[in-house]
Structure 1
Amino acid sequence: MADDHKHGNMDITEQEKTFEGFVKASIWVAGVAIFVLVFLAIFNS
């Protein structure tokens, strides 16, 4: 049964979509955090 495995044959389209969504969400969160920090730096004086 272990001989049936062939490296690189698995369908990973769903994992690629999930990772793409994770990267997009991470970019949005980082952008919002930077905006909040800049906003606080400007108006907290």
Structure 2
Amino acid sequence: MITNRDIQTVDLFDQALGEVIESAQDSGVPDAALAEALRSHADKLE
């Protein structure tokens, strides 16, 4: 389940991101696809 918590710290963000990644892996999303999605989002932050 994707989180809808109130994320106010980097630690909470990291924890929620870990849960989302784990859920996607459990659902069969390839690690390479996850990594590409994360890179794409990171590029938007810079």
TM-score, length-normalised on structure 1?
Answer: 0.44
Which structure would you say has the larger RCO, counting Cα contacts within 8 Å and 6 or more residues apart? 2
Q: Which structure dedicates a bigger proportion of its chain to helix?
A: 1
TM-score, length-normalised on structure 2?
Answer: 0.43
Max Rg structure: 1
